[in-house]
Structure 1
Amino acid sequence: MSSVHRRGISSLVVGRFARTMVARASGGSAALTRLWPGRTDRLIIAPHDLRTADATRAAEIYAGRFVFAGKIVTSHGRSIFEIEPPSDDWEAALFGFGWLRHLRAADTAITRANARSLVDDWLGNMARHRPVGRRPEVTARRVISLLSQAPLVLSDTDGKFYRRYLRGLTREIRALRHALLDVSDGVPRLQVTIALCYAALCLANQARNIRAATKRLSEELQRQILPDGGHVSRNPGALIELLIDLLPLRQTFAARNIAPPPALLNAIDRMMPMLRFFRHGDGAIALFNGMSATPSDLLATLLAYDDSHGTPMPSMPHSGYQRIDAGTTLVIVDVGPPPPANVSQDAHAGCLSFELSSGACRIVTNCGMPGTNRESWRGFARSTAAHSTVTCHDTSSCSFVERTAMKKLLQGAPIVSGPSQVENRREAVANGVLLTTSHDGYRDRFGVLHQRVIMVKHDGSRVDGEDTLEPAQGGRHRAAQADYALRFHLHPQVKASRLSDAKGVMLVLPNREVWTFEAADDKVDLEESVFLAGNDGPRRSAQIVVRQNSIEAPNVRWSFVRSNSSPQATSARRAARREPELPL
């Protein structure tokens, strides 16, 4: 283990230990506040829930069928909160109470009574103390759901249930305040802060808590939302998770005749363009740093609030991404170092990876992260080999915490070492846009720097590239570890066939558009891959692979070229055609 690796782990452990000690030291006062009868006596407003609701799912819930995270559980008359959950994801969805919105969408006397019965069951059930249900981010989701769906649950109820509901809600809010001392940094911490802000705005007699919650929210937004609108974790999915709560929060401030904090307004204004930056032509979000399948319903809802239209910015320097639009062709490149270790639990070792799409068809992607059953795939999904970039000696460019005990202590497997110097230079040249990038993630282990050059022609008809592994100054370049692989993971809808000369691959897109990949100086293989970010779960796909040795062949030139002919005509004419090389 390198000294850098050890220092990274030590820093994380010390930070975690300090938070735990603070939480324990405050435990006595937190316990006392639970006994103190606060002044909250009524709900005065219910925030809007932007998440899509499906009234047909209300009938399933009424019948005792609970479908979450790809798993189905039937209660058969038992309390759903006492049944052994099939997965942590399923249990988190159950205890998040987001499913109440489906009952509200049906809006019948039966669904209202069913909602009230389920909430009443939970209020008196000791299963509510299960570890997954007490996670701060799950509690935050539950508080927001109970607030936003209060009109459903409290409709036609009596004063006794109303008071019981408020007592349960107040208990959850107090637990959240206590959880702030020990919640994981990043999105979970911000979600807890958002939930506490909602609680202060929606309950009566909360003037002091409104001021405190607003101040805390402003501080977290300023710390976590970067100047270009990206989240500090570098995960595009974080923008969707946060905006779906921040937009109604802005409306809730207005409904209370309270000016929203400038930090909230500024964060939303920056995050919206960043969300569009990651969109491909088919509407899907690029698969970087933990992004899973695009929730198209949520994305459509969010974009309806987007007042800024037009072409997204080409460069997001604080988040570390580049976007090249050329005609109908789009290339998005990860040109940033890993995020800070304390927010890197979902970050990937995908430095210099890119995604390519043509119109509404994605061609080259990263594997992404599955929406469910993540633990089974997490190790592979975060590896460099799951990204469209270079992998040295079958080793990732980042190191992750691996020991089980350490993962439990740190609440995940953060990145403890990786590229520290990531450079990129973008320039307009005669034939298009030229992007020159490099990272040093393999310097210490293999003594090399990875440089990637990408040029996109003005009309988007071709993308040329060159990947080079050059000796790092002072690095130890070992012949036994000089092997590397250049990978291009293909979207499952792309039909790929290896060309007879083993120097290229023909790609046929769903719209019958034809592209040809070539690496004229190297053997090209077509191997199996997996697309993890499908809406229906992992899907089999293919990957283009070029294997080489960095001492014998330190660079690989490649190209993706669009053809105006049919697949048959393209194949017939290819042997007589020689494309010009990349002008470097």
Structure 2
Amino acid sequence: MAGVTFNDRLRVAGRLAARAAAAAARIFRTPLLAVAGLRRRAPVRLLIAPQDIRTSDPTLAADIYAGYFAFGGKIVNAHGRSPFELEPGSPAWARALAGFSWLRHLRAADTAIARANARALVDDFLTLAGQPGHSEAWEPQVVARRLLAFLSQSPIILEGADRAFYRRFMKGIGRSQAFLERKLAMGLQGEARLAALIALAELGLCAEGPNKTQQRSTRLLTDELTRRILPDGGHVSRNPQVLIDLLLDLLPLRQAYAARGLQPPAQLLNAIDRMMPMLRLFRHGDGTLALFNGMGVTQPELLATVLAYDDVRARALTNAPHSGYQRLEAPDAIVLADAGRPPPKDFSQRAHAGCASFEMSIGAFRLVVNCGAPDANRPAAREAARTTAAHSTLIIDDTSSCRFAAQAGMSKWLGGEMVSGPDSVDVERFDDASTSSLTVAHNGYDSRFGFIHERQLSLHKDGRRLDGVDRLRPTISHPENRSFVVRFHIHPGVRLKRVRAGYAVLCVLPSGRRWLFESPRLPVEIEESIFFAGPDGPRSCAQIAVHGYTLDDSEVEWSFLQAERKKE
């Protein structure tokens, strides 16, 4: 527990006490919930099948028919057995298999073999893993994903099915419904709660049943959307990927209301309308999303699908104070900055310690990046990617501005939650005819080192220069003199070369355009880094690093400016 403060321990103890109290309440309620669940009848018939707008690949149907299941970066050959009998390749693989989102590839194949294969695999699951248990298949988010997949892919599952299978399938849907309702009544929180409510609301529209069931699920969902989608359109987790995932589910839900001849609730429509321009805020010139708070590889086909439903083609937000993000934009240059506090604890499982970090793109090419989040099969790398050192910002004494449960030795109880982080982040923005300027100051280093980190960014309106200043303001009389590093992680496609006696670095983009990084007072180093968000997996890259000491170098000036193209 090195580096964990007394206040951190108090926060962890309080969090564990709250968890214990909630668990005691759940134990008390469980018998009552079980009795209530016995009274609920499983849905008898499906009336509509919502559209799954995720992209599909019919060629994958042949791989699945041949027994190859590739999920979460792992490929498992079933060798003629049911995949639900196999030892999972990883927890992420098991979740993806039991989520059944891959059924859309079988439907896209549109062959009799694919339809029979889909029904056989669903039957295998219902027989071998269809009862609630402690495996990944019965985690609430996985159950919600499976329920949505069963509803949207019901035409391929049920085509040609006999009455016995139809009844077994509907009973499976009923078990999922009862499971999710029980978890919600027991206090399910975080991203899993919203996923469960979306699945239940969609089931209420698709299945024949009492109208009050559909009305209740809609009311619970709209209440949760009001709490979790912020006024500027961001999600409370502050993770750009969550926006994509939610829209991929909310857009078909909106269509399902129309298919049943019902008016979608205003809260749903308003949430979608707010989320679209927020999603555009994160887009770089190459179409990928900024790597903040758990964002990894951008899947361009999914992003394009979501944005195609943006009826008003809203412009990107530039100022998102509720979500804590800022966008500075000029011709051919975009700067995106994290200017917010960490998310609430229940939504911090994937959040990063990147306050005051920024990314920059020039035209269709990324220049400054954060390291991004690797896939779920790399847990150690995922923890490393969450640290401040993996972001383009200042770090004191190689210590992150946020502390995580793993650092406090509490990951067994708190998972990946944040224990503490900046609770005061001041943001000022100023736009005039010549520049767009942003100042972000946070207290993530105050309790341990006695300093406030303040960063100022100024993007010139012609898009040819970004000026920056990092300041360390002491909050106590005699702080210790600590080392710090201002890091600028550079995209793998950019070549770097130290120039001007080590006080500048020449950055050559893939297009041949040249940008010069300068730090006039302190020498500049080029160090190794890693980029986790490459579509083909992690890639080595470089970072520009400016080293100093808190008392000797309390202000670091730097700039990126466009250089003249080298003459041939």
Q: Pick which of 359-368 and 17-26 moved more.
A: 17-26
C-alpha contact 2:370 2:489 (8 A) present in aligned 1: yes
Cα deviation code 1:260-287 (max 9, x no counterpart): 1111111101001100011001110101
When residues 386 and 295 of structure 1 are mapped into structure 2, their CA distance, relative to the original with a 3 A threshold, is: same
One-letter amino acid of the structure 2 residue matched with residue 217 of structure 1: L
CA distance in 1, matches of 2:59, 2:210: 37
Cα deviation code 1:280-339 (max 9, x no counterpart): 011101011111111211101000011233542221010111111011100011111111
One-letter amino acid of the structure 1 residue matched with residue 23 of structure 2: T
CA distance in 1, matches of 2:318, 2:500: 38
CA distance in 2, matches of 1:21, 1:241: 33
CA distance in 1, matches of 2:315, 2:213: 41
Could you say which residue in structure 2 is the equivalent of 1:394? 398
C-alpha contact 2:465 2:559 (8 A) present in aligned 1: yes
CA distance in 2, matches of 1:81, 1:123: 10
CA distance in 2, matches of 1:379, 1:446: 23
SS of residue in 2 equivalent to 1:507: strand
When residues 17 and 475 of structure 1 are mapped into structure 2, their CA distance, relative to the original with a 3 A threshold, is: farther
Q: How many residues were matched structurally?
A: 564
Matched ranges for 1:500-579 at <5 A:
501-566=501-566
C-alpha contact 1:136 1:183 (8 A) present in aligned 2: no
SS of residue in 1 equivalent to 2:502: coil
C-alpha contact 1:81 1:127 (8 A) present in aligned 2: no
The structural deviation recorded for 1:27 is: 2.1
One-letter amino acid of the structure 2 residue matched with residue 29 of structure 1: L
CA distance in 1, matches of 2:319, 2:292: 16
When residues 110 and 148 of structure 1 are mapped into structure 2, their CA distance, relative to the original with a 3 A threshold, is: same
C-alpha contact 2:130 2:172 (8 A) present in aligned 1: no
C-alpha contact 2:46 2:207 (8 A) present in aligned 1: yes
One-letter amino acid of the structure 1 residue matched with residue 336 of structure 2: I
SS of residue in 2 equivalent to 1:540: strand
The structural deviation recorded for 1:470 is: 1.8
- Alignment of 1:413 onto 2:416: yes
Matched ranges for 1:170-189 at <5 A:
170-182=174-186, 185-189=189-193
The structural deviation recorded for 1:413 is: 2.2
- Alignment of 1:30 onto 2:33: yes
One-letter amino acid of the structure 1 residue matched with residue 55 of structure 2: T
- Alignment of 1:169 onto 2:173: yes
CA distance in 2, matches of 1:418, 1:252: 41
When residues 338 and 302 of structure 1 are mapped into structure 2, their CA distance, relative to the original with a 3 A threshold, is: same
- 2:58 maps to which of 52, 55, 58: 55
One-letter amino acid of the structure 1 residue matched with residue 73 of structure 2: G
The structural deviation recorded for 1:4 is: 3.2
The structural deviation recorded for 1:434 is: 1.9
- 1:477 maps to which of 460, 479, 492: 479
- Alignment of 1:142 onto 2:121: no
CA distance in 1, matches of 2:457, 2:39: 63
CA distance in 2, matches of 1:127, 1:80: 14
- Alignment of 1:285 onto 2:251: no
Could you say which residue in structure 1 is the equivalent of 2:100? 97
The structural deviation recorded for 1:226 is: 0.3
When residues 393 and 403 of structure 1 are mapped into structure 2, their CA distance, relative to the original with a 3 A threshold, is: closer
CA distance in 1, matches of 2:344, 2:477: 25
CA distance in 2, matches of 1:524, 1:206: 68
The structural deviation recorded for 1:25 is: 2.4
CA distance in 1, matches of 2:370, 2:42: 52
The structural deviation recorded for 1:16 is: 2.2
The structural deviation recorded for 1:203 is: 0.9
Could you say which residue in structure 2 is the equivalent of 1:10? 13
CA distance in 2, matches of 1:505, 1:37: 67
- 1:156 maps to which of 137, 160, 169: 160
Could you say which residue in structure 2 is the equivalent of 1:579? none
C-alpha contact 1:235 1:289 (8 A) present in aligned 2: yes
SS of residue in 1 equivalent to 2:92: helix
The structural deviation recorded for 1:18 is: 3.2
CA distance in 1, matches of 2:73, 2:426: 41
Q: Pick which of 37-46 and 462-471 moved more.
A: 37-46
- 1:243 maps to which of 234, 243, 247: 247
One-letter amino acid of the structure 1 residue matched with residue 479 of structure 2: H
The structural deviation recorded for 1:556 is: 1.0
SS of residue in 2 equivalent to 1:76: coil
CA distance in 2, matches of 1:211, 1:7: 42
Unaligned stretches of 5+ in structure 1? Answer: 570-584
The structural deviation recorded for 1:403 is: 6.3
- 1:319 maps to which of 310, 316, 323: 323
- Alignment of 1:359 onto 2:363: yes
CA distance in 2, matches of 1:176, 1:542: 46
CA distance in 1, matches of 2:472, 2:149: 51
CA distance in 1, matches of 2:114, 2:503: 62
When residues 326 and 60 of structure 1 are mapped into structure 2, their CA distance, relative to the original with a 3 A threshold, is: same
Percent identity for Structure 1 against Structure 2 = 48
The structural deviation recorded for 1:165 is: 0.7
The structural deviation recorded for 1:17 is: 2.3
When residues 260 and 15 of structure 1 are mapped into structure 2, their CA distance, relative to the original with a 3 A threshold, is: farther
- 2:351 maps to which of 324, 347, 354: 347
The structural deviation recorded for 1:150 is: 0.5
Could you say which residue in structure 2 is the equivalent of 1:133? 137
Cα deviation code 1:100-133 (max 9, x no counterpart): 1111001111111111111111111148645211
Cα deviation code 1:457-514 (max 9, x no counterpart): 1101010111111211x365112xx110000001111111222511111111111111
CA distance in 1, matches of 2:134, 2:100: 15
Cα deviation code 1:500-547 (max 9, x no counterpart): 511111111111111111112111000110001111211111100011
Cα deviation code 1:371-416 (max 9, x no counterpart): 3324121221110000000000000011111268732323x22122
C-alpha contact 1:448 1:475 (8 A) present in aligned 2: no
Could you say which residue in structure 2 is the equivalent of 1:87? 90
One-letter amino acid of the structure 1 residue matched with residue 395 of structure 2: T
SS of residue in 1 equivalent to 2:360: strand
The structural deviation recorded for 1:156 is: 1.1
Could you say which residue in structure 2 is the equivalent of 1:307? 311
Could you say which residue in structure 1 is the equivalent of 2:268? 264
Q: Pick which of 439-448 and 423-432 moved more.
A: 423-432
One-letter amino acid of the structure 1 residue matched with residue 446 of structure 2: R
When residues 404 and 462 of structure 1 are mapped into structure 2, their CA distance, relative to the original with a 3 A threshold, is: closer
The structural deviation recorded for 1:223 is: 0.5
When residues 222 and 158 of structure 1 are mapped into structure 2, their CA distance, relative to the original with a 3 A threshold, is: same
When residues 195 and 324 of structure 1 are mapped into structure 2, their CA distance, relative to the original with a 3 A threshold, is: same
- 1:329 maps to which of 309, 328, 333: 333
When residues 127 and 172 of structure 1 are mapped into structure 2, their CA distance, relative to the original with a 3 A threshold, is: closer
Matched ranges for 1:414-429 at <5 A:
414-429=417-432
SS of residue in 1 equivalent to 2:352: coil
CA distance in 1, matches of 2:564, 2:107: 52
The structural deviation recorded for 1:40 is: 2.3
- Alignment of 1:69 onto 2:72: yes
CA distance in 1, matches of 2:535, 2:408: 30
One-letter amino acid of the structure 2 residue matched with residue 562 of structure 1: Q
When residues 113 and 183 of structure 1 are mapped into structure 2, their CA distance, relative to the original with a 3 A threshold, is: farther
One-letter amino acid of the structure 2 residue matched with residue 349 of structure 1: A
CA distance in 2, matches of 1:444, 1:487: 22
Could you say which residue in structure 2 is the equivalent of 1:574? none
TM-score, normalization by structure 1: 0.93
When residues 286 and 403 of structure 1 are mapped into structure 2, their CA distance, relative to the original with a 3 A threshold, is: closer
C-alpha contact 1:229 1:273 (8 A) present in aligned 2: yes
One-letter amino acid of the structure 1 residue matched with residue 95 of structure 2: A
SS of residue in 1 equivalent to 2:286: coil
When residues 476 and 380 of structure 1 are mapped into structure 2, their CA distance, relative to the original with a 3 A threshold, is: farther
CA distance in 2, matches of 1:475, 1:47: 63
Unaligned stretches of 5+ in structure 2? Answer: none
SS of residue in 2 equivalent to 1:501: helix
One-letter amino acid of the structure 2 residue matched with residue 555 of structure 1: E
